[in-house]
Structure 1
Amino acid sequence: MDTEIIKIVLAFVVLINPFGALSLFLDLTRGYSMADRRKVARISCFTIFITIAFFTVAGSSLLQGLGISIGSFQVAGGVLVFLIAINMMNGEGNPVKPDQENFDVDHIQAPASMGAAVVPIAIPMMIGPGGISTVIIYSSQISGIWRVSAVIIAGLFISLFCYLSLMMAGRISRFLGDTGLNIMSRIMGMLLAAVSIEIIVSGLRTLFPQLL
């Protein structure tokens, strides 16, 4: 696995951050049977995988169709990811993802509808604008079936990690508590800041090759 793949796996882990959605998942699946809760987790994680795979394959073409240069999108996406990292290090969470308080969980019925598995659990609580932007940025930098496949496989592993996290949501929440989740968010924010700088520098190199 080369350096670029390692970077995108790290970015996936930090940006998707299933731990930030555990409380919402538990609230939305309160009263569900284990089978229904498992189904919600499966649908959510499958949605994450499909989103990653789609933007990995179509990301570069999407930018070209909109007339946006790869360098410009890298700089803009890097700045977005850096702002997310700063907020995470400040303990304020991800600014481009909605707060759990914005969702009225009492109006989402169980188990008749599984729509909540897609919105809001998968999108935008786990993979939001920051995650999608990062997928597009990295997909625009790679070529060849192997490297594209490697990113998609990385997305599969991240999706499985999210599934395991959701299925163990109760245990993780009790073990870490609010303090533990807050500390983890700050550590992930620090790692994400480093990733964002790499994205910005890569974009500047593309835009100004003579300067860098």
Structure 2
Amino acid sequence: MEVFLATFSALFPVINPLGATPVFLALTESLDRKSRNEQALKACLYMIGILAVFFFAGTFILNFFSLRIEDLRIAGGILILRSGLNLLNPDDAHKGNKRLSKEVQEEGLVKEDISFTPLAMPLLSGPGSIAVVIGMYNKAEGYRDFGYIIAAIIMMALASYLILRSSQRFTKFLGKGGMAALSRMMGFIVLSIGVSFIVNGILSLVEMNQAK
């Protein structure tokens, strides 16, 4: 259960489905409630598939490009730091946290099905969450841990679906001030995760050099 909780607690602030609600509502403003819920469900199912694929294939991808897990941790930490800084900026909190570029949002407004892109990727399963699951693969010890990590990904998708499904209620209840405050709280946690990734990556590299 420690592996399950560690994976879920690392993924939740990085994916930040609460912060994704303004973008989700903007992209689905022309849809009725049933269609909006269908898009949210499909996006979360795609998210499970994307994260599961990178979880199991991540090590092979790193080996193919001759990269080390420490390189991924440092690069992923930098990306997560950037996301955290965006969340801490109150101006970005009112603009969807710049999670999607203007061009991607405009494309999403005219697409009939936005569940895979831009909802599942990159809104929900972006570089930060992919870096987290690849990092968890290298920490796993045996098939039981693999099962707990996949279960945490599924639980994360379920939580994301419930939040996106209730996105209108959340935004009305919290208001702009509440969303901005929540964004800052998530931003601080995301920054901490990014720092942890970078520090662990650097320490691992130092230990490897000392061992040589």
Q: Is TM more than 0.5 here? A: yes
Cα offset for 1:99? 4.3
Q: Matches of 1:37 and 1:76 in 2, distance apart?
A: 34
* Alignment coverage as a number of residue pairs: 206
Tell me, which stretches of 5 or more residues in structure 2 are unaligned?
none
Match of residue 158 from structure 1: 156
Please state if 1:127 is matched with 2:129. no
Match of residue 135 from structure 2: 137
**Contact between 1:59 and 1:140, CA under 8 Å: does it hold in 2?**
no
**TM-aligned CA distance change 1:78 to 1:178, over 3 Å:** same
Q: Matches of 1:162 and 1:150 in 2, distance apart?
A: 18
> After the TM superposition, which residues 156-195 of structure 1 pair with which residues of structure 2 at under 5 Å, given as runs?
156-195=154-193
Please report the TM-score for the alignment, with normalisation by the length of structure 1: 0.85
Q: Deviations over 1:137-178 (max 9, x none)?
A: 222332311111111111101100111011111101101112
**TM-aligned CA distance change 1:82 to 1:181, over 3 Å:** same
**Contact between 2:42 and 2:116, CA under 8 Å: does it hold in 1?**
yes
Please state if 1:70 is matched with 2:56. no
**Contact between 1:56 and 1:148, CA under 8 Å: does it hold in 2?**
no
**TM-aligned CA distance change 1:172 to 1:7, over 3 Å:** same
Cα offset for 1:124? 1.4
**TM-aligned CA distance change 1:104 to 1:191, over 3 Å:** same
RMSD: 2.4
Tell me which protein shows more helix as a share of its residues.
2
**Contact between 1:53 and 1:152, CA under 8 Å: does it hold in 2?**
yes
Q: Matches of 1:103 and 1:42 in 2, distance apart?
A: 19
Please report the TM-score for the alignment, with normalisation by the length of structure 2: 0.85
Cα offset for 1:50? 0.9
Tell me, which stretches of 5 or more residues in structure 1 are unaligned?
none
The one of 99, 107, 110 aligned to 1:108: 110
Q: Comparing 52-61 with 80-89, which one deviates more in the overlay? A: 80-89
- What letter is aligned with 2:11? F
Q: Matches of 2:75 and 2:98 in 1, distance apart?
A: 14
The one of 129, 145, 148 aligned to 1:147: 145
**Contact between 2:55 and 2:130, CA under 8 Å: does it hold in 1?**
no
Match of residue 15 from structure 1: 14
Cα offset for 1:30? 3.0
Q: Comparing 181-190 with 86-95, which one deviates more in the overlay? A: 86-95
Work out the percentage of aligned pairs sharing the same amino acid.
28
Q: Comparing 120-129 with 154-163, which one deviates more in the overlay? A: 120-129
Q: Matches of 1:158 and 1:96 in 2, distance apart?
A: 22
Structure 1 segments of 4 or more deviating over 4 A?
93-96, 99-102
